[in-house]
Amino acid sequence: MIEFLRRLVRLLPSLITAFVLALAVWISAVSSSDPLVERTYPNPLPIEIIGQDPGLVITSTIPSSVTVVLGAPQSIWNQLTTDTGSVRAFLDLSGLEAGSHTVPVKVQISARPVRKIAQSPQTITVTLERLASKEFPIRVVTRGSPAVGYTADTPTLSQTSVTVSGPESQVNRVAEVQAILDISQATETISRTINLVAVDVNDNPINGLSLLPDRVTVRQNISQRFGYRNVVVKVVVLGQVASGYRLTNISVFPPAVTVFSADPQIVSDLPGFIETEPLNINGLKDDLDISLSLNLPAGVSVVGDQTEVLVRVGIAAIESSLTLPNIPVEITGLQPGLSAVISPETITVIISGPVALLDRLRATDVRAVVDLTTLSEGTYQIEPEVEILIAELRAESLLPESVEVIITRTTRSSSGTITP
């Protein structure tokens, strides 16, 4: 037995050497088939917050993610990139009070074998503040003024107070909570839902706060002042447009004006409209833009010293249609050495346009043309192009819509005549 132990001791260095060599061979074999790879983890690695006291809030900026360099066999990398939960980064705020703290960013890796080689950032400075809540009255801030002749009453709110929550330092900066309402040029009551804004003593908005509710409905009554009245503008028209034309539209800008009188009874007795000076449209053929004076009763004036309005008159020709039969179809662009036969040789053209122009139209003012410039021998169905010398007239339809054109090559006979 003793002899055996002695021999074992003498062989121990050889056994250890053999074991180390075998292990090296095994590691080499494994590394060659599944090599170790070091690289940056490719998936976004957001930083999770754990252990935060619910009575505290983070007021400092926290990076959205962390970058880590990992070393792992290639086969494990496949698992790391497909399983997004295999690598996590988090900040543990357990037990931390209000104030600034330098907290390490911990990286947790569930896959094995994986080695973390580097990360950025290693630590993050976290500032914690206590949460605070405070109730504030809501103040309506009106911007602008109603239209001339109108007045704004005191606005009413669907709720008169708001609870402001957030970091204690931010809540302490709040001077008031505002609902801002624009009443510029308003002529009627406004009811609008408005977002609330917490501001400091300099009227600067304060961010990072929670408002409950965050919006309210504001009703602002707008009423007309005594002695003022809105009336529409009525255009007084004389005469008729030219024969063959029709009146399509008469519009006035502004369509209504605000009038005022030192005697409110005069304004009250108005019929609801103010007339313009007469507009003579006799014989007109074209649209017309014209400024007309207002015919104001004695003692009545227009707010803003506006004494004229813009009147736009729309005039259009009365249209009809005319049928022209037997319009010859002309050929243009036929290549040398070719001849063409058209069937039918004439077409009927229906033309529409102003009656006055149709009455002047003659058959010689209309041409029907087929362009054969790009065509060679063959049979074609072609829609003639209609040319009308009076530009305002247009061809509505052709009967028939297309004609047959047969193009053949001409030949010269022994007698010198040309035959198709």
DSSP secondary structure string for all residues of 6-58: HHHHHHHHHHHHHHHHHHHHHHHHHHHHS-EEEEE--S--BEEEES--TTEEE
pLDDT the model gives residue 116: 86
By three-state DSSP, how is residue 85 classified? Answer: helix
Q: Name residue, tokens 């209309």.
A: 366
Residues of the chain with pLDDT under 70: 1-12, 14-15, 18-34, 411-420
Q: Which residues on neighbouring strands pair with residue 408, listed in sequence order? A: 339
What residues contact residue 116 under an 8 Å CB cut-off, 6+ apart?
A: 68, 69, 70, 107, 109
**Residue of 236, 279, 232, 238 lying closest to 258 (CA atoms):** 232
Helix (H) or strand (E) holding 405: strand 403-409
* Closest C-alpha among 152, 219, 147, 216 to residue 190: 219
Supply the pLDDT for residue 1. Answer: 61
Q: Residue 229 — φ and ψ, nearest 5°?
A: -160, 140
Q: Which residues make Cβ contacts (< 8 Å) with residue 64, sequence separation at least 6?
A: 46, 47
The confidence score (pLDDT) of residue 174 equals 94
At 188 the pLDDT is 87
User: Can you give 100-165 as a three-state secondary structure string?
Assistant: EEEEECEEEECCCCCEEEEEECCEEEEEEEEEEEEEEEEEEEEECCCCCCEEECCCEECCCEEEEE
Q: Which of 400, 402, 398, 403 is nearest to 350 (CA)?
A: 398
Which residue is it, tokens 């009070």?
A: 97
Q: What angle do CA 160, 164, 167 make, to 5 degrees?
A: 170
Q: What are phi and psi of 365, to 5 degrees?
A: -85, -5
Single-letter amino acid code for the residue at 166: G
Question: What is the enclosing helix (H) or strand (E) of 238?
Answer: strand 237-238
CB of 180 within 8 A of CB of 138? Answer: no
Burial 73-91 (b: 16+ CB within 10 A, else e): beebbeebeeeeebbbbbb
Q: Quick one: DSSP state of residue 273?
A: E
> Is residue 189 helix, strand or coil?
coil
Residue 20 CA to residue 56 CA, distance in Å, equals 57
